[in-house]
Structure 1
Amino acid sequence: MNVLSMGVEEEFMLVDRVTRAPVNRAPRVIERASGDLGEQLQSEFFNAQTEICTRATSCRTALRDELAWMRAVVAAAARSEHCVPVACGTPVLPPEEQLTVTNTERYRRMARRYAPLVTRDDGTTRDEGLVCGCHVHIGTFDREQALALAQHMRPWLPVLQALAGNSPFAQRRDTGYESWRAVEHARWPTVGPTPVLDEPQYVAHVARLVEDGTLLDNRMVYWHARPSEHVPTLEVRVADANADLDTVVLLAVLVRGLAFTLLPRVAARVPVPRTPCPDLLQAHRLAAAQGLRGLGLDPVDGRERPAATLVDALIDFARPALDTTDDTDWVCAQWDRIRTDGGGAARQRAVLRRSGQFTAVVDDLAAATVRG
């Protein structure tokens, strides 16, 4: 079997170096870094965000090296604008200036169409809408293949979401969640599990959503896994942005291993597991609320089990694929580290316990983002 390629899109928020609050400096940071990164560095919905997009690669170390280099380039450009990129699902501190929407035609239209999600009654921006995710792109697939693969992956995606939880704090408060980003992001239309549709049904379904005004365009399909509309890949969208670079690479490798393992079922047209939608939604709620420290729903039998046990099960399920790409030992070592030290949310809370300062949490995230 051919080794599947991987690519990663990482969203960062830009925070002031002194106040540690989000700031609207992305246009200037992107301008400074564009000479090195070109179109691999892009704007996001708010001017306090930016996004890097790796090239496709089949090599884990090449993916890590490119991510580390791109983070360093963004950090250098941000330093010149007296800010720093932070890989975190939600802002730890509230903005000290009103967030502004990026000045492109599409984002302006989105801000108008979905105004209740973007602005308050007094016209000011809803700071809660500032969230950052990490999206993994796998393979080269036509739409039919990517759609079928996304449907086969559905029961496993809450496990990956739990592993990636990195947004316990929002605007100087502990939300009680491991991924508050998942809660805020779910306010947008279509965020949720991939529906079970064949390709003609998918085309008709999305067309209806655009026609009736639910979506602005077909790029706004925000399912947890979807056929990408701008590159021929499967895109998985359940993860928070993570400052720890090895966590990001681990997610990409596990998504690839899962896809590699499930592809023969897609090729053989094995029916998609008919996991009830309420169960899938509950699994994602548990992943957002409890992450690795709580329970999740077993992708096979739907029973509650410790989230860490489910990560073990995912690795075992994908092990033949991980063996093929020589990733098994590295994946197990990274998982042992995370299981011992805690994931992103646990690390943020540990910094707050030690320091008593939310600014220290931002400093730790910023240092880890650049250190990668």
Structure 2
Amino acid sequence: MVTVPVRGVDPIQAGRPRAGRRMTVGVEEEFLLVDRHTGTPVARGPRVVEAAMPLLGEQAQTEFFAPQVEVCTRPTATLAVLRSELALLRRVMVEAAASEGSLLVATGTPAVPPRRPPTVTPGERYRRMAARWSSLVGGYDGMVCGCHIHVGVTGHAEALALANHMRPWLPTLQAIAANSPFSLGRDTGWASHRSVEWARWPGVGPAPLLDEAGYERLAGHLVRSGTLLDRRMIYWHARPSEHVPTLEIRVCDVNADLDVVVLLTALVRGLATSLMPDIGNGQPPPDLRDPPLHAAHALAARRGLTGEGLDPAREEYVPAVTLAERLLERAAPGLAVTGDLDLAEELFDRVRRSGGGAARQRTAHLRRGRLTDVVSELARTTAAA
């Protein structure tokens, strides 16, 4: 499908990112609630959100499963403001969780299994989803927590154009964000087991190459055919938001270390800003073959930043850290425009040295071989923001 050129891009300036437009960013973070003694997920999400709402209002929300909660920032053009707001949202939710005898934990999957299958949060839409996909919600697995990053766009046409051009880079973003090696009491062997569990839902995966008309046709077909309940279930790794003018990147695990969230947001906006000249010039997006693209995402989920990664555009295996360095290099022009290049380089160096969230969880486990130590470390880091 041919990408629609983005209106409003000055062809004279198309060779470089324009300093006059700074995309806004916003973040949604999903968290687990666990018992403060045992580390097991506890179904206290609605009560915790109710306790937080006097301070946070609709920025605190329930999630599909009752042991989960979500926070949402307002749009901002400044990463320092974003970080401060995320820190405030976390602090309020940590205190609300404590008032209900639980800990707020930022991890993609629960390390310690629940004592019983998780309940679905009350609500008409969640009830319909649970009924239609009962095989996905009736067991002990399925509770996954992501970090969704939004960049402000002019509309669906621009969001889709950016999504088309960003496809080769999203596996690397996924690798940097990997933070779910443990699930249901065991080391899964994956850096991001959330990616495995999340992929069981319909509508999850790399976004197809679409222009605005193609998106409308496909979205309408998916809903009318019953493949999806509604357009909100279009869970592609990059999708146009249906309720705000943003492109939403949905490939990341939630991370306990807030600096990782800031880095991921900086990279997403820097990459989007750097790609805008290509879109303005009418340059077609990379025409990736599906097998290497899916393999790149699978390898990113398996290895994170350790070992090999796969470049889906060049179809070559290289160290995952090399792919992350290439992503930072590609995003650098856009990061320079927003004044975030030095910060991104500093935060990236920290993540490279630590190995990322999955490596930090495994290090915590190695000390005594106890998953409760992993949960405690995650809770401390989540609260330290």
If the length of structure 1 is used for normalisation, what is the TM-score? 0.97
Post-superposition offset of 1:335: 1.3
Cross-structure match for 1:353: 366
Post-superposition offset of 1:299: 4.9
Tell me the SS of whatever aligns to 1:235: strand
Post-superposition offset of 1:140: 2.8
Q: How many residues align?
A: 366
**1:282 corresponds to which of 276, 295, 316:** 295
Amino acid at match of 2:272: A
Is contact 1:23–1:97 with CA below 8 Å preserved after alignment?
no
Is contact 2:293–2:312 with CA below 8 Å preserved after alignment?
no
Post-superposition offset of 1:117: 1.1
Q: Mean alpha-carbon deviation: is it higher for 140-149 or for 231-240?
A: 140-149
Cross-structure match for 1:122: none
Cross-structure match for 2:165: 152
Cross-structure match for 2:284: 271
Is contact 1:29–1:77 with CA below 8 Å preserved after alignment?
yes
Cross-structure match for 1:102: 121
Identity between Structure 1 and Structure 2 (%): 55
The reply to whether residue 295 of structure 1 matches residue 314 of structure 2 is no
Aligned partners of 2:136 and 2:369: how far apart in 1?
32
Tell me the SS of whatever aligns to 1:238: strand
**2:61 corresponds to which of 39, 42, 47:** 42
Post-superposition offset of 1:127: 1.9
RMSD over aligned CA atoms reads 0.9
**2:238 corresponds to which of 197, 220, 225:** 225
Tell me the SS of whatever aligns to 2:236: coil
Aligned partners of 2:264 and 2:278: how far apart in 1?
22
**1:10 corresponds to which of 20, 29, 44:** 29
Aligned partners of 2:305 and 2:107: how far apart in 1?
17
Aligned partners of 1:172 and 1:72: how far apart in 2?
27
Post-superposition offset of 1:200: 1.2
Aligned partners of 1:212 and 1:319: how far apart in 2?
42
Cross-structure match for 1:306: 319
Post-superposition offset of 1:267: 2.4
Is contact 1:141–1:234 with CA below 8 Å preserved after alignment?
no
1:1-372 alignment, distance < 5 Å: 1=18, 2-119=21-138, 126-372=139-385
Is contact 1:6–1:137 with CA below 8 Å preserved after alignment?
yes
Tell me the SS of whatever aligns to 2:141: helix
Q: Which structure 2 segments of 5+ residues have no match?
A: 1-17
Post-superposition offset of 1:302: 2.1
If the length of structure 2 is used for normalisation, what is the TM-score? 0.94
Aligned partners of 2:313 and 2:118: how far apart in 1?
43
